[in-house]
Structure 1
Amino acid sequence: MSDPYSQPNREWWAQRWIDVLESFGWVRRLARARTYAREGNVLNIDFKGSKVAARVQGTAPEPYKVSLSLDPFDDDQWSYVIESMAERAIFSAKLLAGEMPQNIEEVFTANGLSLFPFTKFDIHSKCSCPDPANPCKHIGAVYYLLGDRFSEDPFVLFQLRGRTKEQIIEALRQIRSAGSEVNGTTAQDDSLASQSTADQPNVSAPLAVDRFWHYTEQLESSLVVIAPPPSSETVLDVLGSIPLKVDSNAEAAFTQTDSQALTDHLKTIYQIVSQQAILAAMKAGDAT
């Protein structure tokens, strides 16, 4: 029987949680805990604010009560973190789509924080069983089941640090909306998460690279800043594989290979546009 806690296809944030816990040196205890988690001994996991309450069936007739929590961030700390998230549109788009951005930890470390437990002393846990060891196998089983919860909803990890999904999304939207009003633009990043396949562009339409970006006014040379983007991710990474429409009556149906070929072609276009933008910026700088 395969071990669900050793699967390579687990979401990276859920696997990171497990890796962090196992790095604390609780190998023997966590081995027993994995068996408990795998066999369904964790009867329930409930959240009371940022704290976790669970019941785990052990050898005794009555289930043991387990509590677990991390140190929550205070209001100022969360304010800095959310502002940092809002500055990077890719983060907002992925979080609104229910996915944890790959380099989300950078936002926390940049603000002197750690999203995942940094040491074993960052985890506060208690069990009603007579075993004096911490974590006992009941607490350890809850650790593993929390990893499953993170896979289902990455915002659960944020909740352990003191902010719910609703609070984070609302704060992100307020910041992005305020920034859009100041710049006189419309915030469209939030719509990426809910875009339907019906709204996808016709892949057979010509790709007008020469008109990809057009601006008729002279740029102020002092405002030209050449710098690498904060993330290598693009909207293509947010949307994932392109769902090409398959016509059953067509002589040749689109395949996954066709979808990947189109994605690669669009990525090449992004690179060309990026290079042209850098050259234009350099020429503008030389002209001053």
Structure 2
Amino acid sequence: MTNDTLQASREWWSQRWLDLLDSYRFKKRLERARNYSRQGNVLSIEFKGAKVLARVQGSEAEPYKVSLSLDAFSDEEWGYVIETMSHKAIFAAKLLAGEMPQNMEEAFTTNGLSLFPFTLGDVHSKCSCPDKANPCKHVGAVYYQLGDRFSEDPFVLFQLRGRTKEQIISDLRKLRSAKVKATTPETSETQTPILSTQYSVKIGAFWQYHEPLESSLVVIAPSSSETVLDVLGAIPLAKAEENVVNLTSSDVVMKYLNTIYKEVSQKAVLAAMNIGAS
């Protein structure tokens, strides 16, 4: 497999990490490090907090001990980053799916931080080998292995900056839950049921414009046979166990949203007609 093919198959965040090492000017040392990584010389990699500890088999019988770390962000800095993440639903959705959003770095740069190190000097590494150069081929081999780890689990990169997957997801959920509660209006309207009381929508919340409308601007048009739901198609939900009416979870949601859509449209038309008649 060529280098171009390998790069194309890697996730962008993994390749971004490896590009930094590939910018190192001592190419022969990099080639030896790459070979060590491919040949299985990296015997183990474990994370101790935000630090990476590894054992790399070199020319000696005893494996060399390698440590690698980045500067971890403070609790306050992470608080700003996660607050920024919480403003975009796509960030939470992608991260929950184990993917790194394409513009994830914005959440860090907006707060004056960088998720990735700028130079190799920003990567703190040590090796027990006698080679005085840093990074040596043993450190380089671990660096390459981390690129593969990042591809499998992008949260590893966050861990090097001081936050685990569980902490990030938990903080995101708390913030987004608080935002939803803060923006949900209080209403005593009767809720429309959907096979289960777990799913309900307050119809009154769809039409709350209390300012007078300019009657000359009101246009009442017949409802189109094709709605936004028709254009979007079925919601890609996993199939639930079939119930008594043989409906999947996607069928149930689509049927319910169609009902809501028609009711809201009718309320809008009635409100417009009342204004126009006054």
Shorter-chain TM band:
0.5 to 0.7
Structure-2 residue corresponding to 1:137: 137
Counterpart mapping for 1:242-253 below 5 A: none
Letter in structure 2 aligned against 1:218: Y
Change (3 A) 1:215 1:178: closer
Structure 2: tracts of 5 or more residues without a match: 186-204, 213-235, 240-278
**8 Å CA contact 2:58, 2:64 repeated in 1:** yes
Amino acid at match of 1:109: T
Cα distance between partner residues in 2 of 1:155 and 1:14: 11
Tell me, in whole angstroms, the C-alpha distance in 1 between the residues paired with 2:116 and 2:110.
Answer: 14
Q: Does 1:216 align with 2:221?
A: no
What residue number does 1:12 align with? 12
Could you tell me how far 1:216 is from its partner in structure 2? 3.5
CA pair 20-35 structure 1, distance change in 2 beyond 3 A:
same
Task: Note the alpha carbon deviations across 1:19-74, whole angstroms, 9 max, x for none.
Answer: 12222434332111001101110000000000000000011011100000000000
Give the TM-score of the pair, scaled to structure 1.
0.64
Which structure: larger Rg? 2
TM-score computed with the length of structure 2 as normaliser = 0.66
Task: Name the amino acid aligned to 2:207.
Answer: T
Taking only the aligned residue pairs, the percentage that are identical comes to 66
Q: Distance in 1 between matches of 2:125 and 2:211?
A: 57
Moved over 3 A (4+): 1-7, 214-217
Alpha-carbon deviation of 1:184? Answer: 1.4
Cα offset for 1:219? 7.2
The residue type equivalent to 1:137 in the other structure is K
Cα distance in 1, alignment partners of residues 160 and 25 from structure 2: 22
Change (3 A) 1:60 1:90: same
1:43 equivalent in structure 2: 43
How far the C-alpha of 1:133 sits from its partner, in A, is 0.6
The equivalent residue for 1:32 is: 32
Contact 1:24 1:119 in 2 (8 A): no
Deviation per residue, 1:134-188 (Å, 9 max, x gap): 0000000000000111011100000000000000000000000111111117xxx
Change (3 A) 1:5 1:168: farther
Matching residue of 1:60: 60
Q: How does 1:1-288 map to 2 (within 5 A)?
A: 6-184=6-184, 215-218=206-209
- Confirm or deny: 8 A CA contact 1:86 1:176 kept in the other structure: yes
